[in-house]
Amino acid sequence: MMASTLFVPTAQSQVVTISDELALRNDYAYSILGWVKDDMLLFRDKGSSFFIQSFNRDLHLKWEREMFLGEGRPDIIGVVAHSDRFHVLFGTRIKGIYHIMHYVYSHDVNLIDTSSMTVYENAFVTPRIFMEESEDKSKVLLFEYQKRGLTLLSYDLDAKAIGTVSRINLEGKNLIEDFRSIVVNNRGEFFIALQSNKLNQRTQYLHIYSSSPGSYQVLHDTIRLGEQELMDIHPVFDHQQNSLVVTGLYGDINANRAKGIYFIRYDNNRAPLLSYLPFDEELLTEINGRGSGSSKGVSDFTVQDVALRADGGVVIIAEMVKEFSRRSSLPMARGSGSYLRDGWVDYYFEDLILCAVHPDGTEHWEKVLRKRQYSQDDGAMYSSFMLFRTPERLRFLFNDEIKQENTVGGYEVSGTGYIERKTVFNTDYHKLKLRFKDGIQVAYNECIVPSERNNRLNLIRIKFAD
């Protein structure tokens, strides 16, 4: 299948370009790097070999080049693209010592520089190292967690320099150890938000660990939450306001329904701002329908994203997510003789709740965006949405249904909460199944979304006319 371009006439037209079809049968993973100079780069991880593929503006495949990452079998930690080069961070064993390496490549895959970031001299078991990158992609935070705590390393990609190395001991702290709430800002400072274990105390606290600029000291602050339970934690760093924003859903302790959304703005130099914003009756009725339980809160929602506003406010986006297993919990034998617990699963990704918050923590507006997505046994890879940010509005892009031929729909939401439902394009006859939650925004009016179907990959470029 050759690359093709569709012009889709709507109220605000967009051009949809479909790349050449690529075989995925031997791939372990892939990553869309975006535009590096004039090349749309795609990183292909085949387990023991690694390739970069380049596409032109019409998404025609220009070339494919292999990268050599040493004699051992590298463990890819992350790939970060800049405007004229890209960085590969990986672990590898050299003479029995485990090294964390940093390779820098030009846009055409010429090796510019190599360096060893750190070493594990007594690592008999390969460490599991994770990575978070800063908003401007200049800094990364590598972290490894064990049962007793976290080891973190902040690294400057351009200067090829370690910022800080920190160790946080959490043993005996009675915290809910959810380390997905790790954030690194453009200065290389990290923040970790963890909640007290609700089984040990009625008064709840949010614990924030952060790096101290210019030292290896770890700062620890607590925010008293009262008797409210945080049902999820979603942090993001606001660089314009130079502060951490933590949001999520909250409810009563041991309750299974969320009463509203909380908003915390945290700064080391001042008292934190904490606001609880209960859902209003109109929104609860719209979500739950009319009935005796309609005013008790919402269930199965989780905060998926936060859009920062220029005035210091935010728009918090929560999505209804439900999973149902169709198999018992008993282990099932496979042909190899191994036992797995991977059941057949139904996935439901449904309505979105949007809550706009003023800089002072008061509510601006609440809205519900209707969405119905159902799939089976696919890991929900085609479900959920992509958030597309522009200075004037937020765009939500998603599959209207999870099936072979589908309509790509979405919403446009203005800063005042005005909502307009959109149809972006139809995938009929193009053999596409788009993974919107894995798409990337590459310009104010352009995004790239992968499509996977029958072990075939296409890149889809959506360019809006505004």
CA 239 distance to own-chain centroid: 18
**For the sheet containing 97-106, what is the strand order?**
75-81, 85-94, 97-106, 111-120
Positions in the chain whose pLDDT score sits under 70? 1-12, 172-174, 176-178, 198-202, 292-295, 327-343, 466
Q: What pLDDT is stored for residue 253 in this prediction? A: 75
Per-residue pLDDT reduced to its tens digit, 272-307 = 999 999 999 999 999 998 775 566 899 999 999 999
Q: What pLDDT is stored for residue 333 in this prediction? A: 44
User: At residue 437, what are phi and psi to the nearest 5 degrees?
Assistant: -70, -10
Closest CA to 77 of 136, 122, 120: 120
What is the C-alpha separation between 56 and 105, in angstroms, rounded?
A: 19
Q: Are 234 and 180 in contact (CB under 8 A)?
A: no
Per-residue pLDDT reduced to its tens digit, 185-218 = 999 999 999 887 766 566 788 999 999 877 778 9
- Report in angstroms the alpha-carbon separations of 71 from 46, 100, 119: 16, 14, 17
Within the chain, what is the greatest distance between any pair of CA atoms?
68
Q: What pLDDT is stored for residue 176 in this prediction? A: 65
Structure tokens at 160: 């090829």
What is the C-alpha separation between 372 and 333, in angstroms, rounded?
A: 34
Residue with tokens 């788009």: 434
Q: Domain limits of the chain?
A: 244-331+341-380
Three-state DSSP at 211 gives strand
pTM of the shown model: 0.91
What is the C-alpha separation between 127 and 53, in angstroms, rounded?
A: 29
Three-state DSSP at 219 gives strand
Q: What pLDDT is stored for residue 48 in this prediction? A: 85
Instruction: Give helix then strand counts, H and E, for the chain.
Output: 1, 39
Q: What pLDDT is stored for residue 164 in this prediction? A: 87
Length of the chain: 466
What is the C-alpha separation between 204 and 191, in angstroms, rounded?
A: 19
What is the C-alpha separation between 262 and 357, in angstroms, rounded?
A: 10
